Amino acid sequence: MAARSLWRASTKVFAATAVAGAGAGSVAIANSDDPASALKLSTAVPLRLFRDAATAATIVFDYEYSLWGLPVGSIERERVKHEVHTRSATRLQELCFTNGGIYIKLGQHISQLEYLVPAEYVQIMRQSMLNRCPVSSYDQVLEVVKKELGGTPDEIFDEFDPVPIASASLAQVHIARTHDGQKVAVKVQHTHMTDTAAADYATVELIVNALYRLFPSFDYRWLVDEVRDSLPKELDFLIEAKNSIKCMDNFRRFSPHIAEYVYAPTIHWNMSTSKLLVMEYIDGAQVNDCKAIRKMGINTRDVSKLLSRTFAEMMFKHGFVHCDPHAANVLVRPLPSGSKRIFGKKKPQLVLLDHGLYKNLDPSMRINYASLWQGLVFSDANAIKENSVKLGAGEDLYVLFAGILTMRPWSKVIDPAVDHLVVQGTDGDRSELQMYASQYFPQITELLSRLPRVILLMLKTNDCLRAVNAALMEGSSLETFFIVGKVSSEAVIESKLLQSRSILSRVHVWFEELLLEARLFGMQIALWLLKLQKALTL
């Protein structure tokens, strides 16, 4: 009886996936104007669809069968669950790599959801999704270059390396040299993205909807909605190029004090199209490559502080945020001006790559988000609740929202200690976070369905930054939260001054600013004392 029930459940998943995906694939094929593309779709879509259905059904059956009859909370159930998580994450990883494109984008999203998916999924996806992306053949690259620029790479460029230096989910990058001698990076879109993107998206959407109907607690529809909104923009490299220009302009206008320390490669507009981007080649180390950074004579702590400051300025002052700052998208190099810090260390400059995924925070949302982080850093429970509610978390889930943002339980979030938000990265911390995620899974799912999608992307950005900072600091840095508190407070004060309509209201804001400065100064003193204490105990 049990076996029959399990078989029925997995068969339902397979059937729902197959039927839904077949419909999506048929529509995509019918809408294709290019006979060659239609032929590719007619052969590729059914095979990809079968993989989707088989993987989904296998995972469902494995969970149901392996955990059948094991008491909830028992040691044996936890042991078996860990094994099933590992097997299922590996199956999902292989599906993403085999199908490529959208599937890898989804895998990369999953790798950042520490607060929502089991640790096994996060670890397996994170270890592979950034360095095992599929590579297009040189013939495919030649096809794209010829179609976009009207000639072969050897005709368009003086030199063109057929072996890519990097490959990501949507494109790969080749080094080339223009006829006037400039070294450039050429970003070429994978041809399969154009061929199967529509069918892949429709299939994934219907799979997730089918799984939700069968298992209501499995609600990842918001993730599919986000991919639907962002993918067309990421596939248009001219939008990416314009985003990089706007990003740099924002630093010059709103953050001139650090504009020199943030850089984006110059775009060669006359050689760039929606599927091919030619830009200045930058030689630098990945932001999490501590060994290479130190070899350049740069202190990794300086990089961590600059990274935190850069993205805090984007979130709280610019309202135009690079939402994919994983390690491969941020390079570090010595500041070109050559100036050095005390003790001979070179000043770092961040080079931001891959500007395809940006989000706009409207002024009210930007200030509410800044006020929320100000409350988190200063342990202000009322401010945390007020601004969490304004951002959509509701009065019933604001505590959970604060926990997801900080990766800390509520007792730590409102602890007045200066280091209350620091996650040490110990096994105990990781176990606590996973227990938290497991215990509140339904509530977390509900919260993510409520929050505006732009805030969901801020969560992803925070997760990326947390991972990079952990590598740079070999743990967690108190200074990171000090910087976040300082920039968010500056943004809130600036907003209040702009809204002040009388001298009295301006005086009130100036007085509030003085109090904030005093509070930040006190926090800085506390940080110095903690550093001194740590140094003396070593």
Active site residue 302: no
Locate tokens 């009065």: which residue?
395
Q: Which helix (H) or strand (E) holds 65?
A: helix 35-67
By the 10 Å C-beta count (0-12 exposed, 13-18 middle, 19+ buried), 537 is classed as exposed
Q: What is the pTM of this model?
A: 0.84
Give the integer Cα–Cα distance in Å for 359 and 171.
Answer: 21
Helices (H), 191-289: 191-214, 221-234, 237-254
Helices (H) and strands (E) in the chain, counts: 21, 11
Cβ count near 180 (within 10 Å): 6
How far, in Å, CA of 355 to CA of 383, rounded?
A: 33
Nearest to 356 by CA among 243, 253, 220, 450: 243
Could you tell me the CA-to-CA distances from 197 to 41, 104, 158, 193 in Å, in that order? 10, 12, 33, 5
pLDDT at 338: 74
pLDDT of residue 36: 52
**Dihedral sign for Cα atoms in the order 425, 429, 430, 433:** negative
Catalytic residue among 200, 324, 354, 463: 324
Q: Token match 């080094």: residue?
A: 175
Q: Tell me if 129 sits within 8 A of 107, measured CB to CB.
A: yes
Average pLDDT of adjacent 10-residue blocks, the chain of 538 residues? 45 50 49 52 68 85 89 87 91 86 78 73 78 84 95 95 90 95 96 71 75 69 77 91 98 96 97 96 94 94 94 97 91 86 82 95 96 93 96 92 87 83 62 64 82 89 86 74 91 88 82 80 75 68
- Is the dihedral angle over the CA atoms 203, 206, 208, 211 positive or is it negative? negative
pLDDT at residue 41 in the model: 52
Class of residue 416 by CB neighbours under 10 A (exposed 0-12, middle 13-18, buried 19+)? exposed
Q: How far is Cα 442 from Cα 440, in angstroms, rounded to an integer?
A: 6
Which pLDDT value is given to residue 375? 93
Place of tokens 């200690």: 417
